A and B are shown apart, each in its own frame.
Chain A
Amino acid sequence: MFRPSTSQNNSITIYIDDEAIQAVAGESVAAILLKQGITAVHSAPDKAARGPYCMMGVCFDCMVECEDGRSEQACQLYAEEGMKVYLPVTKQTGART
């Protein structure tokens, strides 16, 4: 699990699969997920679980679903108060890996 080496200003709340998580405003959702110990977020066409790889928007393996139903790269999504994201892999497997 990724752990911070300095104290973090977790001043906002976001929701991952409807679970409230304290997060730093403006942090990427991918970074927040990794700090929660979540490394798998969606499935590839062959059903294999995938998660963040490049953290800079080129691998497209950190896909999450936003509240309106659109998919976004979690590393290109910056946390705001009340943001809700859903992990496709939870829906697909019924459990978060």
Chain B
Amino acid sequence: MNAALHYDLIIIGAGPAGMSAAIYASKNDMTVLVLDDQPAGGGQVYRHVMQNAAAQNKAQFLGSDYWSGHKLADEFTRSSASLWPESRVWQITKEREVFFSQKGKAHRAQAGAILIATGAMERPMPITGWTLPGVMTIGAAQTMLKTSHSGVDGALFVGSGPLFYLTIWQYLNAGFDIKAVIDTAPGKMSLLHYFWALPALLQPSMLIKGLKWRSEIRRKTHYISGATAVSISGDSQAEALSFTDASGKQHRLEAEHIFLHQGVVPSINLTMATELEHRWCPRQLCWHPKTDIFGESSVQQIFVAGDGMGIAGAAAAISSGKIAAMRITAKARGTSSLNAVFQMVRQVQKMAIRPFLDYAFKPADEWLVPHDENAIICRCESLTKADITKAITLGVSGPNQLKSFSRAGMGRCQGRMCGLTIQKMITDHNSQSDDKTGYYRLRPPIRPLTVGELAALADDTPTS
């Protein structure tokens, strides 16, 4: 293993939070290493932005929010921060060693401070048939637009939320035919929504933009709202989508490509495997790493920023990345963190719309745990709801016991696709709190690596 890769700051994730932190820290004379699994910076929200900027065909259909990320990504590329692209971090320790693999070779680096900025992932939507080829997430549809300017004609879009509307709007801009949009959000706003819409007025541009997208989608597509009881059928490939509309009428639409969405949740595999403390957020229905106001976790000198600390969007991520970098730099220097505090004030405004979005698009129970006993819950091990229920009724105190009983969570994805679902099933069955149920005990490696990659870290002299 190579000897000294020492950095003042190692940032994991080159999305808006990571890039923003890298720019600040490197400008303030910190040595910075940024590790990301993609070929260039951008994360998910600004994915492929550098390549798109350099391309002949400017993908204008992606919209101004996307393109606003180019300035950030460009500044990041020109900063003195060192980016190792296509790098997969598989373990970090409390002593701030970082183990990662790049192109089949494992490396070790040592950090003065670590910033985990690994962002979010789509909330799993375990409906009947969600594992059929041709069924993908809305994020996947958007990624195909960003990286390949590609889409499908005649697809169905099912779900709700800001990312849902944005992607469909981008699809319309790019000129793809949309078969139908099946919106699962309740048609009417409740009193709670109106209440939380008030602070959202601090971010009026966001509110207006969202309403604009939604009204355009209603006009330009076959749009159905208030959908429930969604299921996908097909033999070896997605063939049709069935659902019930708000009036109770049942529909069946044929399609080979179906895009699903029920919001995003923080990616917690790295933070949990590093044994940072987490708390359950009932408003966002997900786990948040516990941090102080600057983003420092329960482990000294390990920070979290961006959507990985709680879903708040790209603008808030840029801000929280900077706050963490300011604090890390100030601690390293022994100077005041006042500038970080000032940055936090601006942060508040960027998060004003969040409660409204959280309540307006909170997934209904049927999107969290399917009614259908034959729906697959653990994709990796092909376990259905019936399989999981059988194990739960034997009496489990939490997901880890369930893992032993059923194999759920033992597959490649390390619980990313089933963890939240299983947690809710146990919580509901045992009539206890989510905090009491807890989550899978996650351990490194949080990304797979080959036996050979790990073997190459052995000392040259074989031991007896």
Contact = CB atoms under 8 A, between A and B. Distances in A.
The answer on direct contact between A and B (beta carbons under 8 Å) is yes
Interface of A: 1-8, 24, 26-28, 31, 34-35, 39-40, 44-46, 48-61, 63, 70, 76, 78, 97
B417 A58 contact: yes
B136 A53 contact: yes
A44 B140 contact: no
Contacts of B371: none
A97 B412 CA distance: 23
B13 to A, nearest CB: 12
B328 to A, nearest CB: 27
B440 to A, nearest CB: 14
Q: Is the interface of B mostly helix, strand, loop or mixed?
A: loop
A55 B133 contact: no
Given A39-B133, A97-B133, A54 B382 contact: no
Interface stretch (B150-158, B160-168, B188-196, B342-350): B150-158
Contacts of A28: 147
A56 B143 contact: yes
Contact of A61 (B86, B379, B381): B379
A95 to B, nearest CB: 11
B450 interface: yes
30 contacts: A2-B150, A2-B152, A3-B153, A5-B61, A5-B149, A6-B149, A8-B149, A24-B148, A28-B147, A31-B144, A31-B147, A39-B256, A40-B133, A44-B379, A44-B380, A45-B380, A48-B131, A51-B134, A52-B136, A54-B122, A54-B139, A55-B139, A56-B139, A56-B143, A57-B37, A58-B413, A59-B379, A59-B413, A60-B411, A70-B104
Interface residues of B, number: 49
Contact of B416 (A6, A24, A52, A58): A58
B202 interface: no
A5 B380 contact: no
B416 A5 contact: no
Interface in B382-411: 382, 411
A3 B171 CA distance: 12
Given A48-B131, A53-B136, A55-B143, A40 B152 contact: no
A6 B57 contact: yes
A20 B44 CA distance: 30
Contacts of A53: 131, 135-137, 140
Interface of B: 37, 39, 44, 51, 55-57, 59, 61, 86, 88, 104, 121-122, 131, 133-137, 139-140, 143-144, 147-153, 174-176, 236-237, 256, 267, 379-382, 411-413, 416-417, 447, 450
Contact of A76 (B37, B122, B267): B37
Given A44-B382, A61-B131, A3 B39 contact: no
Contacts of B39: 26, 78
A23 to B, nearest CB: 10
A63 B144 CA distance: 18
A54 B176 contact: no
* Most-contacted residue by chain B among A7, A8, A26, A55 (CB, 10 A): A55
B60 to A, nearest CB: 10
Nearest to A61: B379
A17 B55 CA distance: 30
A56 B450 CA distance: 20
Contacts of B136: 52-55
A26 B148 contact: no
A42 B362 CA distance: 33
B415 to A, nearest CB: 10
